[in-house]
Amino acid sequence: MALLWQKIVAGVSYEVRTAGASVRLYTDGVFHSQYNPNQLLTGHVWDLLMLPAFFYPGHAINRVLVLGVGGGAVMHMLRHFVSPASIVGVELNPVHISVARRFFGLQHKSIEIIEGDAVDWLLNYKGEKFDMIIDDLFAERNGEPVSVVAANRKWFSCMLKNLSSDGLIVRNFISRQELINSAGLSNEHIAGKFSSVFQLTSHYNENFVAAYLREKSTGNELRKNLTATPGLNPDLKTSRLRYRVRRLA
């Protein structure tokens, strides 16, 4: 990989590197995002964050909230494959926002990027509800990613308050145990708000992505909808889309 850009801000090292036709963002050595305008699917965890939109595409996903923008890979995929009217991203790190716009081309009339603490922002938000909320909030510690906010009852209650009646929440977890312990599964009050919960994984990553759906769906429904979507058919040998899905509730 070739180094395209590098900057140290307040002791934190930021790098943008090329990997073939893709550009990648690294923060203190942690791989944060990847973008290739000619191949939006990354083969990494950001694909999994977008996929739950296809559990029931009959319901229009008009408003999406992305907590933790990074380089904006999932926002590009959402705009291209899902086409919501509005994608709002909240990102604390101004360097990430600058990189997303300069190197990742994250500039479109349907995309709004807000600089701020995503947790505080959502706790104080009083606007129109979202059809899909993606929680991809991570920081770095000793070169490893760490979750910014616990997936507890308080945080799920906040997300549910701002979610439409048939919407879905998607959360990126570092470990399966963290997912299993999340309030979306372990807390009776919160778990009762969802009709289906799925785990999505890929052999390219160690992450576990959870999709909490307010309406029932199945893994077969997901695959059927992906197969019918140009550019996402996982049955094609040329497809970069490789995932495993498991129903948890």
CATH number of the domain bearing residue 178: 3.40.50.150
- pLDDT tens-digit readout, 28-74: 988 889 999 999 999 889 999 999 999 987 677 999 999 999 999 99
Q: Measuring CA to CA, which residue among 127, 139, 53, 35 is closest to residue 92? A: 139
Range of the domain at 152: 40-247
The domain total for the chain is 1
The fraction of the chain above a pLDDT of 70, given in percent, is 99
Query: Per the domain annotation, does 199 fall within a domain?
Result: yes
**Residue 1 is assigned to a structural domain of this protein:** no
- pLDDT attached to residue 25: 95
For 215-233, the pLDDT digits (tens) are 999 999 999 999 999 999 9
CA 247 to chain centre: 19
In a domain, 23, yes or no: no
Which tens digit of pLDDT belongs to each residue from 90-103?
999 999 999 999 99
CA distance 19 to 22: 5
pLDDT for residue 228: 93
In a domain, 106, yes or no: yes
Instruction: Let me know if residue 165 belongs to a domain.
Output: yes
Q: Does 16 map to a domain?
A: no
Query: What is the rounded average pLDDT for all residues in the chain?
Result: 94
**Does residue 143 surpass a pLDDT of 80?**
no
CA-CA distance, 136 to 225, in Å (whole number)?
24
Q: What is the pLDDT of residues 147-159, one digit of tens each?
A: 999 999 999 999 9
Question: Are 174 and 147 contacting, i.e. CB atoms less than 8 angstroms apart?
Answer: yes
Q: Is residue 241 part of a domain?
A: yes
- Residue 4 domain-assigned (yes or no): no
In 3-state terms the chain splits into helix, strand, coil percentages (rounded to 5) of 25, 35, 40
Is the per-residue pLDDT at 88 higher than 80? yes
Note the pTM of the prediction, 2 decimals.
0.96
Q: What percent of the chain has pLDDT over 90?
A: 86
pLDDT of residue 68: 96
